[in-house]
Structure 1
Amino acid sequence: MATARTPQTFNLDRLTTPIGTALLVTDDGGVLRALDWDDYEGRMLELLRLHYGPVTLRDGRAPAEMRKALSDYFKGDLDRLTDVTWRVAGTPFQQKVWHALPKIRPGTTMSYGALAAKLKVPNAMRAVGHANGSNPISVVVPCHRLIGANGSLVKYGGGLERKRWLLRHEGVEI
């Protein structure tokens, strides 16, 4: 018999970036739980529901240090993303993928297959892709750095134009 999850309440803030308004979802401890784009708010809400169960968002400012780190990243200080504390619920495999993504350095990309091999599950390319697509923390957990085996951009939850911009911003020639 399934048990109902306790509803979660998170804070929602907005940050203007060169590629649109970012939605920052934080918990009461100031930890980032989701980052998505205002034109993809419905997708973000669905990912939050899948990871946490019932979720309520209330207006609330993200920590100043987090906002500054993200603003600095968009101004070109690419290493500032490591200063953002984040946490997300997910399966053990999703967690493994999501914790591997920040290890892909800015200015570099990796194929889904290469990440699967690095995680010692070489036949799990599709599972890596699925976990990557379920990542609710865009930019900070840099799912945009995963590309197709042939170098194609493939997919990005925030749209391929944003993915292209992020990769160029980080110095990747596309």
Structure 2
Amino acid sequence: MKTAILKTPLGLAEVRGDENGISEIKILEEEKEFTPNIPEVLLPAILQLNEYFEGKRKNFSLKLNPSGTSFQRKVWKALQEIPFGKTWSYQELSRQLGDVKAIRAVASANGKNPLWIVIPCHRVIGSDGSLTGYAGGLHRKKWLLEHENPPLQQSLF
């Protein structure tokens, strides 16, 4: 398993993967050494994440290999259907998966997403529009949602 540390506007991120795909992208709370020489297998992920933060990328095209149960993988696949700049509620996500009563299980799988940003769990909000739990912290969730959907400049005239 190869690892690289990436500097982002939200702190350091750790990217892990191998020839089978990217298995983990997570925000780090502790300081680690930035990776000057990126392993070749991780280059596409690093490039695409940088493009995302620069506002040049809305979708990712990476080979993914997250570890999880079949239900978790089903939820993570559905998360990838949420369009850039849009949000879904946990209820909408549950409905999309075919079981509106599975909100808690869906929320749990959402919280275990190992691929920060690439599988956009930050796009899931409460039914009332509130920002609900986010493993990376609500301040990061707010930043990501604003990055993807910046407020329109109001006309002064």
| Counterparts of residues 1-174 of structure 1 (less than 5 Å) | 10-27=1-18, 29=19, 31-39=21-29, 61=39, 62-79=41-58, 81-171=59-149
**Contact in 1 for aligned 2:22/2:42 (Cα 8 Å):** no
Q: How many residues align?
A: 145
CA distance in structure 2 between the aligned counterparts of 1:24 and 1:120, rounded to whole angstroms: 32
Unaligned runs of 5+ in 1: 1-9, 42-58
Deviation at 1:114, TM superposition (A): 0.6
Tell me, yes or no, if the aligned pair for 2:16 and 2:42 is still in contact at 8 Å.
no
Give the residue type in structure 1 aligned to 2:145: L
Taking the aligned partners of 1:34 and 1:164, their CA distance within structure 2 comes to 22
4+ residue runs of structure 1 moved beyond 3 angstroms?
none
Q: TM-score scaled to structure 2, two decimals?
A: 0.85
Q: Is the 8 Å Cα contact of residues 98 and 132 (structure 1) preserved in structure 2? A: yes
Question: Residue 65 of structure 1: CA displacement?
Answer: 2.2
Check whether the contact 2:20–2:65 (CA below 8 A) recurs between aligned residues. Answer: no
Counterpart AA for 1:163? K
TM-score under structure 1 length normalisation: 0.77
Q: More helix per residue: 1 or 2? A: 1
